[in-house]
Chain A
Amino acid sequence: MLLRSLKLHIIQCGFAPVVLQVSRTCSNMPLSDTHQSPDNAVSGKQVKSERKLVVPSNSRFIYPEFLPDPKMEWRNSLREKLERLDMIQRRKHIDIPEFYVGSILAVTSSNQHAPNKATRFVGICIQRLGCGLRANITLRNVIKHVGTEIKYQLYDPTIQKIEVLRLEKRLDDELLYLRDAPNEYSTFDENMEAEYLPEGTPVPVNTTLVKLKPRPWRARWERKNMKGLADLELEERFYKRAEELATPWEKYDLMKQYRRTIPEEEQKEIFAEVCSELHEVEVMRKKLKRKKVFVKPTRSS
């Protein structure tokens, strides 16, 4: 009995964060695993056979909207679960690719006002907000020397297609300072062609430093601690005041960090729940992509 429980423990240690079923049993009965009936051992053996369900460690960056809002008053486990199911259902119909703030996207959506009932907008993603079905992105582009932004709900049924034209990251999580930057920083060609990255390469980080226009700005950027901004060229008093208002101790505030984020164990549980279906969707997408890429060879004589 002791030997068996020990074995079981090893199995669970090895697969618990990785495999769907085991992590579920772990979360349900965290205390009971020392006196286990053989029944659980059987499930452990089953798990051994279906080994492929590995949760990729970067899921929280690729699918950030699957994590719920960490605000305690707004949590509701049932609603979150139902939302996740709906999101997967939607992902089976349209391809919501991996992208980050700073990537250049093209969104095609149905629009009742347009003559051909659809519009396409190309722009750089400057903000990614919301969780669950309310996840939204803001795209920015400069068209005819006027900065234009459109917010899109990612899971909106009117969206027909989301394409990633250039997959890259920037130094910051929000690029709202592009509104105060000269136009050339957010000008992108509408007929831009998608740039493909070879599979398996890490997402490139674009380290361009943005030089802002002179003040007035929409926010006091010297206080926001942005990494992607070039020298702001302000008077000394602005930096002094920013230093006075800075809160460098906040990064050591564990409680604040706990309230601001979803704990790692919970994240694992959530992604273990959805990973198999997300994987299926991904595989299907790759197949479709291969089909599209295939070009019938023509006979040359």
Chain B
Amino acid sequence: MLSTICAARKFSTSAVTNHIMKLTRLRVVDNSKIGKQAMAEGKPPRCIHIYNKKGIGTIGDKILVAIKGEKVKAIIVGCVKEQKANIPRFDSNNIVLIDDNGTPLGTRINVPIPIMLRTILKEKTFSKGADYTKLLAIASNYV
């Protein structure tokens, strides 16, 4: 029955794009308490807003996630979607939780971080605004 329906299908389907958008499940890669708990319980955080104009997050974008009933901001440090040349692509959508000042909630990041984040986060940091470069200091491995 199912196969006959599939054979008669007249619409086309496109390939999976793996975008990070609203309601995407993500993976927390720092060792913050809330992040660790959420991942251990099998309830990974959901993206509920992306702070850019496209609504699709990439490496270095700030997002708002719903994690264990709380709203926490985070930075994307790696995505699954196809990237251009020389930009790494990962097998999971990795995020690092931060507070409003840009300070990470954890003290260690245990996965490789794209090296282009060094420039992206420095450009996003202004003298009296949030300081995102603290995230770079807790990374252990760059790709």
Indicate whether B87 reaches chain A with its CB closer than 8 angstroms.
yes
Nearest Cβ in chain B — how far from A237, in angstroms? 8
- Per a CB cutoff under 8 Å, which of A148, A158, A240 touches B86? A158
By a CB distance below 8 angstroms, the chain A residues around B3 are 240-241, 244
Indicate whether A179 reaches chain B with its CB closer than 8 angstroms.
yes
Indicate whether B66 reaches chain A with its CB closer than 8 angstroms.
no
Nearest Cβ in chain B — how far from A221, in angstroms? 15
From residue 84 to 119 of chain B, which have CB atoms closer than 8 A to chain A? 84-92, 94, 110-112, 115-119
Closest Cβ neighbor of B118 among chain A residues:
A113
- Per a CB cutoff under 8 Å, which of A136, A146, A244 touches B112? A146
Q: How many pairs of A and B residues are in contact by the CB < 8 Å rule? A: 71
Q: Output the residue of B86, B117, B142 with the most chain A CB within 10 A.
A: B86
Interface contact A109-B86, CB-CB below 8 Å: yes
Indicate whether A31 reaches chain B with its CB closer than 8 angstroms.
no
Interface contact A147-B110, CB-CB below 8 Å: no
From residue 1 to 42 of chain B, which have CB atoms closer than 8 A to chain A? 3, 6-7, 16
Q: How large is the interface on B (under 10, 10 to 19, 20 to 34, 35 or more residues)?
A: 20 to 34
Indicate whether B52 reaches chain A with its CB closer than 8 angstroms.
no
Interface contact A150-B89, CB-CB below 8 Å: yes
By a CB distance below 8 angstroms, the chain B residues around A119 are 115, 142-143
Interface contact A113-B90, CB-CB below 8 Å: no
Interface contact A111-B115, CB-CB below 8 Å: yes
Indicate whether A48 reaches chain B with its CB closer than 8 angstroms.
no
Q: Output the residue of B92, B112, B119 with the most chain A CB within 10 A.
A: B112
A144→B108 CA distance, assembly (Å)? 13
A148→B86 CA distance, assembly (Å)? 12
Interface contact B90-A147, CB-CB below 8 Å: yes
Indicate whether A173 reaches chain B with its CB closer than 8 angstroms.
no
A148→B118 CA distance, assembly (Å)? 18
Indicate whether A153 reaches chain B with its CB closer than 8 angstroms.
yes
If A114-B142, A146-B90, A146-B94 touch, whether A151 touches B119 (CB-CB below 8 Å) is no
Indicate whether A177 reaches chain B with its CB closer than 8 angstroms.
no
A213→B73 CA distance, assembly (Å)? 33
Nearest Cβ in chain A — how far from B109, in angstroms? 10
Nearest Cβ in chain A — how far from B3, in angstroms? 6
A148→B84 CA distance, assembly (Å)? 14
Interface contact A152-B143, CB-CB below 8 Å: no
If A143-B143, A146-B90 touch, whether A151 touches B84 (CB-CB below 8 Å) is yes
Nearest Cβ in chain B — how far from A150, in angstroms? 5
Q: Output the residue of A119, A146, A151 with the most chain B CB within 10 A.
A: A146
Nearest Cβ in chain A — how far from B112, in angstroms? 5
By a CB distance below 8 angstroms, the chain A residues around B92 are 146
Interface residues of B, Cβ cutoff 8 Å to A:
3, 6-7, 16, 78, 83-92, 94, 110-112, 115-119, 140-143
| Sample of 25 A–B contacts (CB below 8 Å) | A111-B115, A113-B117, A114-B115, A114-B118, A114-B142, A115-B118, A119-B115, A143-B111, A143-B112, A144-B112, A146-B90, A146-B91, A146-B112, A148-B112, A148-B143, A149-B89, A149-B90, A150-B87, A151-B86, A151-B87, A151-B89, A153-B86, A156-B85, A179-B91, A244-B7
Interface residues of A, Cβ cutoff 8 Å to B:
109, 111-115, 119, 121, 136, 143-153, 156, 158, 179, 218, 240-241, 244
Q: What 3 A-B pairs come out closest when comparing CB atoms? A: A147-B91, A143-B112, A146-B111
Interface contacts beyond A113-B115, A244-B3: sample of 10 additional A-B pairs, CB < 8 Å, sorted by A? A115-B118, A119-B142, A136-B85, A146-B112, A148-B89, A150-B89, A151-B86, A151-B87, A153-B86, A244-B7
